[in-house]
Amino acid sequence: MLQIEEIRKKAQTWLGKEFNEETRYEVREMLEKDEKKLIDAFYRDLEFGTGGLRGIMGAGTNRMNIYTLGMATQGLANYLIKQFGNNEIRVAIAHDCRNNSRYFAETTANIFSANGFEVYLFESLRPTPELSFAIRHYKCQSGVVITASHNPPEYNGYKAYWDDGGQVVEPHDTGIIEEVRKIKSVNAIKLNGRKDKIKIIGKETDDLFLQEVLKMSLNPEIIRKYSDTAIVYTPIHGSGIMLVPPALRLYGFKNIINIPEQDITDGRFPTVKSPNPEEPDALKMAIRRADETGAELVMATDPDADRLGLAVKNKKGEFIILNGNQTGVLLTWYILSQFRERKKYKGNEYIIKTIVTTDLLDKIAEDHNVKCYNVLTGFKFFAALIKELEGREKYIGGGEESYGYLPGDYVRDKDAVASCALAAEVMAWAKSKGRTVFELLIDIYGQYGFYKEKLINLVRKGKEGADEIKAMMKGYRDDPPKIINNSKVIRVDDYKTLTTKDLITGKTGRIELLKSDVLQFFLEDGSKISVRPSGTEPKIKFYFSVNARLDSAAEYEETVKLLDQRIEEIIKDMKLA
């Protein structure tokens, strides 16, 4: 880690004339008045993680600005030339609603075009899944979306994609980083764009994308019967406004209720504390509107419309917010059950989930004689596996606990546009069976077991926070718990060493995945605890999963209390509360 003298020296290089006056002024202020801010801005360089480049906007090597973005783009351009030569390289670029997103997207387009690339730049904000689609449709070698997903307003980010429409993975991610590190000066960035190389795309691409979304529908005749069912949708100021309502209408839903205040694209996200559909506050206005209008389903997407949050009515007629695992279970169960009912299986289908996503999906897949692959956190691993199995096995659905789902393989990243349409179809299908979405979920629990999950995020910002998170992971590895909540730890999976150890027999095995800083503890009572530092945010995540039988719907509330209590006791025993 850099010492303060080295950090100050590094910062002083940003006072040169190659940097604009706004940047020089901000660096001078930090040098003279705010050492802590200076350290956080310069103690490291932003690097590609599970979500690409992401950080707080501002001056500094550890900040999102046109220079760090420019170096990343020039490094990516140099790597693409090495991989494909410098003839007819194509890239696609999209952006969300965040402050500076259009500026960053146009800067990226200028750099790529200055390197001689053909650039497909969306005319205005668009959902991330459409960027993935555009890469594939326009036969691009790469692509970029400017977004910080559901992060707070001060963040922005840069996600790089490869020619399959998936985010970059090994060896390309490290190869790009190597090229970026070779750039020692911002003067190496080619900033003089060529307008003749930049093609603006929009509605024609939207229409092609929506046609693929429509192909995911499994019961159009049922939708027609329940097309007037009221649905409330909010994009939370983000890019979902461009495609989610059109997708719902294309499916056949006519009664789509909006929140005018949240339809306004605004990178400040003025109506919510956080533009994250995982947070209950983000759905408050939509739920209030649903109560006023008698709607049966509430849907919310994050700023770049790759994550989906749902709220449904419980037995008391009150709206409850589903967690990411519950939505994933409903969507995946629906796809698998309808494939079975319609005899669509050919025997080579599979789904994907992450290692921290509910194991209920494994059980559902097993019941339908469909493979369930577990991958590391991050949809880039979904894309890599789909690419690896292409032509031999058929991906039909899957998702992750953090509110990301992918119903088909025409896109290679999580897709809240198609997921919204499919969620509305699940609601219509449940109505056709005399059930609500909530009752359908309880039916699934009754058949396969009631799995309950909870996520705790411990935020630790800056250099001090990063050091604290590293120390926590080291402590768990050096001295792993033997008993948690009076239940023996019977197995430990360490994805950093790629080893699994049975603590009962002492036997060890190898995990056949890429290395990742993740630990999992399996308890004798069936509980599972996963610990993972975030790859894109200054936090460490604790995932808790417990389960029990649910013999009847009448026992639902009692079982909820039992499982919630077990989770809280685990949290207390691990001294996390």
Q: Are 412 and 164 in contact (CB under 8 A)?
A: yes
pLDDT tens-digit readout, 484-534: 999 999 999 999 999 999 999 999 999 999 899 999 999 999 999 999 998
**Which of helix, strand or coil describes residue 49?**
strand
Whether 536 has a pLDDT exceeding 80, the answer reads: no
Residue 401, both tokens: 């606990």
149 is known as an active-site residue: yes
From the list 251, 222, 405, the residue with the least C-alpha distance to 326 is 405
The edge-to-edge listing of strands for the beta sheet with 319-321 is 256-257, 231-234, 297-301, 308-313, 319-321
Largest CA distance in the chain: 71
- Under DSSP, is residue 198 helix (H, G, I), strand (E, B) or coil? strand
Q: Are strands 118-122 and 90-95 parallel, antiparallel or unpaired?
A: parallel
User: For residue 334, what pLDDT band results from cuts at 50, 70 and 90?
Assistant: very high
- The yes-or-no verdict on residue 477 having pLDDT over 90 is yes
Spatial distance between the Cα atoms of 7 and 259, rounded to a whole number of angstroms: 46
Mean pLDDT, the chain, whole residue set: 95
Q: Enumerate residues 6+ apart whose C-beta is below 8 A from 257.
A: 230, 231, 232, 233, 289, 290, 293, 295
Task: Look at the block and give the residue holding tokens 């705010």.
Answer: 34
CATH top class, domain 215-346+407-448 = alpha beta
Are β-strands 198-201 and 118-122 bridged in parallel, bridged antiparallel, or unpaired? parallel
Closest alpha carbon to 54 in 303, 410, 375, 331: 303
pLDDT-derived band of residue 1, with 50, 70 and 90 as boundaries?
low
Buried (b) or exposed (e) across 418-446, using 16+ Cβ within 10 A? bbbbbbbbbbbbbbeeeebbbbbbbbbbb
The whole-number pLDDT of residue 178 equals 87
Question: Which residues make up the CATH 3.40.120.10 domain(s) of the chain?
Answer: 51-201, 215-346+407-448
- Give CA–CA dist 411/132, Å, rounded: 6
Which token pair is 69?
């973005």
Which are the contacts of 4, defined by CB distance < 8 A and separation ≥ 6?
35, 39
pLDDT per residue as tens digits for the range 462-471? 888 888 899 9
Q: Helix or strand or coil: residue 154?
A: coil
Tell me, what's the pLDDT at 284? Answer: 97
The pLDDT value recorded for residue 48 is 65
Confidence of residue 151 (pLDDT cuts 50, 70, 90): confident
Q: Which tokens in the block code for residue 474? A: 């080291």
Query: What's the confidence (pLDDT) of residue 445?
Result: 98
CATH class of 450-573: alpha beta
pTM of the prediction? 0.93
Q: Is 17 exposed, middle or buried (0-12, 13-18, 19+ CB in 10 A)?
A: exposed
Q: What does the alpha-carbon distance between residue 302 and residue 385 come to, in Å, rounded to a whole number? A: 25
SS3 425: helix
Catalytic residue among 132, 149, 239, 402, which? 149
Please, are residues 425 and 217 in contact by the beta-carbon 8 Å criterion?
yes
SS3 145: strand
Number of residues assigned to the chain: 577
Q: Compute φ and ψ for 132, nearest 5 degrees.
A: -60, -45
Residue whose structure tokens are 């080291």: 474
Q: Tokens at residue 264, please?
A: 């306004």
Three-state DSSP class for 9? Answer: helix
Q: Which residues contact 155 (CB under 8 A, 6 or more apart)?
A: 54, 55, 56, 57, 64, 98, 148
Q: Kindly report, residue by residue over 271-297, the tens digit of the pLDDT.
A: 999 999 999 999 999 999 999 999 999
Classify residue 264 by its DSSP letter: S
Question: For 49-91, how does the pLDDT look when each residue is reduced to its tens digit (9 = 90+)?
Answer: 545 688 999 999 999 999 999 999 999 999 999 999 978 999 9
Domain with CATH 3.30.310 in the chain: 450-573
Report how far residue 28's alpha carbon sits from residue 11's, in angstroms, rounded to the nearest whole number. 9
Considering only CA atoms, which of 111, 542, 174, 488 is closest in space to residue 356? 542
**In this predicted model, which residue has the larger pLDDT, 457 or 51?**
457
Model confidence pLDDT, tens digit, residues 97-140: 999 999 999 999 999 999 999 999 999 999 999 999 999 999 99
CATH superfamily ID and name for 51-201 = Alpha-D-Glucose-1,6-Bisphosphate, subunit A, domain 3 (3.40.120.10)
393 pLDDT band (50/70/90 cuts)?
very high
**576's tokens:** 């996390």
Segments in 357-479 forming alpha helices (H): 360-367, 379-389, 416-432, 437-448, 462-478
